[in-house]
Amino acid sequence: MHENNLGERIRRNKGRELKKKKEKKVILIMFSVLLIVVLIFLLKYLGIFPFSSDIMSYNRVNILIVGCDEIENYGRADTIVFLSISPKTKDVLILSIPRDTRVEIPGRGMDKINHAYAFGGEKLISKTVSSFLDVPIHFYAVVDFNGFVNIIDELGGVEIDVEKEMHYVDKAGGVEINLYPGKQILDGEKSLQYIRFRHDKLGDLGRIKRQQKLALAVIKKMMKFDSITKIPQISEGMKGYIETNIKTQDAIALANLFRGVNQEKFGVETVQSKPVYIEGVSYLEPNMEEVQQRVKSLIYGKNSGVKVEVLNGNAMSGIA
């Protein structure tokens, strides 16, 4: 009886861990949008223009975004996202790399890709991802998930038309969602509840749509946010949650670049892999050659037949 109870607790814990991983991926993308929008706002209202940056001369600008629970102590990265933008065509690719993807980590051999961050921080994980995808990594940003709620609150909340009642409680997992339908101002905590909810027939597809809806609401609020006295507070609030090698002049140039992004050429994808067990450890095994061909086809326009899972709200494979 004791063994049965123990097994049930282990299964429940694994389920909660899987939910948290998915939620963190959504939060990371939302946080990245907030970062970019704040940079755009600084550019617009402080009258700062790009200087001493050669970003606009790049064929592609490639950024590695790593999500973790805390920046101070290297841990295993929960979320790894490769972001690529073309200064010329303004198309954007966001490619999620599952944390359990089995790759070659320089100096360490074959291992889960997220272990690269624990072994050598942002430098080693940047080198690992660059080798895995066979593309250069120009910039990195390590993001602490805990900043999401604070920044929404600094904005004074965002207006969302909540489409239905959303109720869900998981006391053991620390999740409580309690939202009612209709137009309303969601603060940081309620916004987090809104993008976490997936307990209906739409499941993850519905959550993806809500994520996109909230992202647009945040951008809309920022563009109308004409109180310049709030900008330093937002920027200050982000300092403890991001570590990056992006210099000020490059950040300004990137903000200017993202302002002109072509929304019709915005792709969000996840590399497909097959689950494998090696010496009792579970991994996701990709076909590295196919992954590299696919990435090149997306960012350089070279043909490839590689299959990639796409999170575009249409449940279709291909570019979003």
In eight-state DSSP terms, residue 155 is T
34 falls within a domain? no
pLDDT at residue 306 in the model: 37
Torsion of CA 12, 275, 21, 115, to 10 degrees: 120
Please list the residues that pair with 308 across neighbouring strands: 271
In eight-state DSSP terms, residue 254 is H
CA angle 231, 236, 241 (to 5 degrees): 125
73 falls within a domain? yes
Q: For residue range 237-265, what is the model confidence (pLDDT) as tens digits?
A: 666 777 888 877 787 777 777 767 766 77
The H or E element containing residue 135 is: none
Residue with tokens 């010496």: 279
The whole-angstrom separation of Cα 255 and Cα 14 is 39
State the number of CA atoms in the 13 A half-sphere of 227 facing the CB.
8
pLDDT > 90? residue 69: no
111 falls within a domain? yes
Q: For residue range 18-61, what is the model confidence (pLDDT) as tens digits?
A: 555 555 555 555 555 555 555 544 444 444 444 456 888 888 99
Q: For residue range 275-300, what is the model confidence (pLDDT) as tens digits?
A: 999 999 999 999 999 999 999 998 88
Taking CA atoms, 185 is separated from 189, 191, 217, in Å, by: 11, 9, 10
In eight-state DSSP terms, residue 307 is -
Residue with tokens 């990056």: 244
- Yes or no: say if 6 and 190 are a contact pair by the CB < 8 Å rule: no
State the number of CA atoms in the 13 A half-sphere of 223 facing the CB.
8
Residue 278 belongs to domain spanning: 48-145+235-310
223 falls within a domain? no
169 falls within a domain? no
The H or E element containing residue 265 is: none
151 falls within a domain? no
Closest-CA residue to 84 (of 109, 114, 56, 63): 63
pLDDT > 50? residue 228: no
What's the pLDDT band for 212 if we cut at 50, 70, 90?
low
Which two three-digit tokens encode residue 160? 């969302």
138 falls within a domain? yes
Helix (H, G, I), strand (E, B) or coil at 140: strand
Domain count, the chain: 1
**CATH number for the domain that contains residue 117:** 3.30.420.590
Closest-CA residue to 91 (of 311, 308, 261, 293): 261
Residue with tokens 């590295």: 288
Most confident of 55-64, 103-112, 137-146: 103-112
In eight-state DSSP terms, residue 273 is -
In eight-state DSSP terms, residue 246 is -
The answer to whether the Cα torsion of 81, 82, 86, 87 is positive or negative is positive
123 falls within a domain? yes
pLDDT > 80? residue 182: yes
In eight-state DSSP terms, residue 60 is -
